[in-house]
Each structure stands twice: as C-alpha cells, then as structure tokens.
C-alpha cells in the first residue's frame, strides 16, 4: 500500500515536467518596441529545465528589403520557433543575422538560420570555435531535452565596425569588449533602437565569466553617447533612458572597489561572498547568486595583484 502511495506521489510530481517536455514551446511573442523593431524578452532567471534556457533577449528589425536578426537564442528549438514567430510578423526574407557575443544563450540557435549569413566580430568567432562545444554540453546538462539536436555552429561572416544601410535603415555596427573579448552592439540611427547585448543588464544582475571591468566601464561610457530612443539590453526589460547603463556602471565600480579592499584585507573567497551588498542593487534579479559567481570569476586576479609569488 505504502509503495503505491509513493509511486502515485512521484508520478504527480513528474506530470508538470512531462507536460512541459512534451510541448517544448518557448512561447516566443514578438513585442514591438519602436518602428520596425521587435524583441523576444527572456526571463530574468538562471538556466533551468522549466525555462528551457529562455533567459535572453533577442530581436529583429524589419527593413524594406528583409529582416535583420539580432542573436539566435539558446537552442535549435529556440531558433526554429524564433523564425516562425518572425514569419507571423512579416513574410519578408531574413537578410542576415548579427551575434552580439559568444555566450551560449545568444548563439546556439544558429542552426535554424542555415543558409543565411551570420555575422559576428572576429573575437566572437574565435571564442565560439574554442568554447562553443563546451557551452553546448553544459546547457544540455542544465536544460535537458530542450537542447535536442543543438550543435555549436560558428558565424559565417566576420563583421567590422561601421555603418551599413539595409532596406532604408542606417545601422551602425559597434565593436567593443568588456563583458567578453568581443562585444557587438547595434544602433539603428533610423529608429533610435540600440541593441546592447550583454554590455547592459537591466533589473537582472550581470554575469562576469569573461569580464574585464575597466574595459566594460569604458564601453558603457561610449554607448551612453549614442542618441538612442530605446535600449534593448541582453537581459531584462527595455529601457527608455540611460539609467540602466548607469546601474551597470555603478555595480561594476562597486565590485572593483570591494574586491580590491577584500584582497588587501586578506579575505578568502568565502568571506568575500558573505559581505553585505548595497541596497541600491537589491532590485536586480539573482543578486546573491551572480555576486558569488563573480567572486569565483574575478577575485583571484585581485589576490594576485596583492600577493606576489615568493619565488
């Protein structure tokens, strides 16, 4: 009798996941943010089976000649569903894809865009070739069968910073670094839309596995000079002003000062993780989790700057 009860309980617990797994629907609904410009807004969460890796913002611009796609999402399924959602908005062909950087939630949908030119900075292409397979394996572990059939596919075109005119849109390709070694942003002078990639996180704590804080701060200062009307961050809701940029800069400066002082005081990683975080950052999702990860990503460099090798 008890065994039957346990089995029934296990089945009831598994049913929601089984139902979700049967659908594998990202429910991608394009939201128009400015003329000709749409985004798919991801959740401000960690990677889980429940969200299938849909924690990223992707988007597209509909020009008179065709569609420009910005980032392809975390899986083959996402890319396929993204293409279908775009086709519900316009029947125009997809002209090209731009990738903002090499983190897996931004490029693992590339397979769905076979035959379409995929552009990225040279540093991004190198990083995808070097790290893409490992990223793919990790996402399989974190989100499971949402990743079925997904492989790491590198971009097919190297892009240089500059202005390109596409179907009546004056689009500026911006090449930076800071979040990674190669961070591409896109500014549409025609509509005022700025796609920042992960150079900007909004209401979601930033990630730092490949970060260079000083370069990142310089990059944000350059982005702030663009006369944008709407900012589409890599994660989190759109922004109509520069506050999201200021928030990222403030957090990066706080990390830098805090890590320097901790290393000078001889704190261990565990002790640093236990340090209080200012209330001004409390509105950002995953604050504690991402701060702890940043300690593991960055703190060793601060320690190395203080503690010189004895030999």
- For 20-56, the pLDDT digits (tens) are 544 899 999 999 999 999 999 999 999 999 999 999 9
User: In this structure, what token pair is assigned to residue 191?
Assistant: 């509509």
Q: Does the global pTM surpass 0.85?
A: yes
Residues 110, 119: Cα–Cα separation, whole Å: 11
Q: Residue 72: give the domain boundaries.
A: 25-241
Res. 78 pLDDT band, cuts 50 70 90: very high
Q: Which two tokens stand for residue 111?
A: 């397979």
Q: With 80 as the cut, is the pLDDT of residue 9 above it? A: no
Q: Phi first, then psi: what are they for 90, rounded to 5°? A: -150, 150
Q: Name the residue with higher pLDDT: 175 or 9.
A: 175
Tell how far CA 77 is from the center of its chain.
17
- Residue 307 binned pLDDT confidence (cut-offs 50, 70, 90): confident
What whole-number distance in Å separates Cα of residue 117 and Cα of residue 194? 21
- Is 309 a domain residue? no
Region 119-148: what's the mean pLDDT?
A: 97
Residue 210 lies in a domain: yes
- Each residue's pLDDT tens digit, 162-196: 999 999 999 999 999 999 999 999 999 999 999 99
Token pair for 200: 């900007």
Asked if residue 263 has pLDDT above 60, the reply is: yes
CA–CA dist 192, 267 (Å, integer)? 45
Q: What percent of the chain has pLDDT over 90?
A: 91
Tens digits of per-residue pLDDT, 107-118? 999 999 999 999
Task: Encode pLDDT of 184-243 as tens digits.
Answer: 999 999 999 999 999 999 999 999 999 999 999 999 999 999 999 999 999 999 999 999
Beta bridge partners of residue 62, listed in sequence order: 67
Q: Count how many domains the chain has.
A: 1
Reported confidence tier of residue 310, pLDDT bands at 50, 70, 90:
low
Query: What crossing angle do the helices spanning 213-223 and 243-264 adopt, rounded to 10°?
Result: 160
Whether the predicted pLDDT of 301 surpasses 90: yes
- 235 forms beta bridges with 201
Q: Which helix (H) or strand (E) holds 176?
A: strand 169-176
Q: How do residues 41-51 score in pLDDT, each as one tens digit?
A: 999 999 999 99
Domain assignment present for residue 277? The answer is no
Asked if the structure places residue 17 within a domain, the reply is no
pLDDT score at 308:
72
Place of tokens 């399989």: 140
In a domain? residue 166? yes
pLDDT value of position 16: 52
Residue 301 falls inside a structural domain = no
Q: What is the CATH number of the domain that holds 178?
A: 3.60.15.10
Secondary structure (3-state) at 117: coil
Query: In 3D, which of 89, 92, 29, 86 has the Cα closest to residue 66?
Result: 92
pLDDT band at 309 (very low <50, low <70, confident <90, very high): low
Mean pLDDT, residues 138-151 taken together: 96
Cβ contacts of residue 174 below 8 Å, gap of 6+? 161, 184, 185, 186, 187, 222, 223
For residue 73, being part of any structural domain is answered with: yes
Residue in the structure block whose two tokens are 């399924």: 77
- The 10s digit of each residue's pLDDT in 146-169 is 999 999 999 999 999 999 999 999
What percentage of residues in the chain have a pLDDT greater than 70? 92
What tokens were used for 92? Answer: 């125009």
Cβ atoms < 10 Å from Cβ of 238: 19
In a domain, residue 246? The reply is no
CA–CA distance, 115 with 170 (Å, rounded to integer): 24
pLDDT of residue 125: 98
């Amino acid at each position: 009798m008890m065994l039957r009860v346990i089995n029934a309980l296990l089945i009831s617990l598994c049913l929601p996941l089984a139902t979700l797994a049967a659908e594998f629907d990202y429910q991608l609904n394009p939201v128009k943010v400015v003329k000709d410009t749409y985004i798919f807004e991801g959740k401000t969460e960690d990677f889980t089976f429940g969200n299938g890796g849909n924690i990223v913002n992707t988007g597209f611009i509909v020009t008179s000649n065709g569609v420009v796609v910005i980032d392809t999402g975390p899986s083959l399924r996402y890319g396929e569903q993204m293409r279908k959602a775009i086709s519900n908005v316009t029947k125009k062909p997809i002209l090209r894809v731009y990738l903002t950087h090499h983190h897996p939630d931004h490029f693992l949908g590339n397979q769905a865009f076979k035959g379409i030119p995929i552009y990225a900075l040279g540093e991004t292409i190198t990083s995808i070739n070097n790290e893409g397979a490992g990223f793919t394996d990790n996402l399989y572990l974190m989100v499971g069968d949402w990743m079925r059939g997904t492989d790491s596919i590198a971009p097919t075109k190297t892009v240089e910073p500059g202005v390109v005119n596409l179907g009546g849109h004056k689009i500026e390709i911006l090449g930076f670094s800071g979040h990674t070694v190669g961070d591409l942003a896109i500014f549409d002078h025609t509509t005022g839309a700025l796609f920042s990639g992960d150079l900007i996180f909004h209401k979601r704590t930033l990630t730092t596995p490949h970060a260079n804080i000083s370069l990142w701060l310089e990059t944000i200062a350059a982005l702030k000079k663009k006369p944008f009307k709407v900012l589409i961050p890599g994660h989190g809701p759109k922004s109509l002003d520069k506050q999201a940029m200021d928030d990222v800069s403030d957090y990066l400066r706080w990390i830098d000062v805090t890590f320097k002082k901790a290393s000078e005081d001889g704190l261990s990683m565990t002790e640093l993780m236990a340090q209080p975080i200012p209330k001004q950052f409390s509105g950002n999702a995953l604050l504690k989790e991402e701060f702890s990860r940043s300690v593991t990503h960055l703190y060793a460099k601060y320690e190395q700057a203080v503690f010189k090798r004895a030999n």
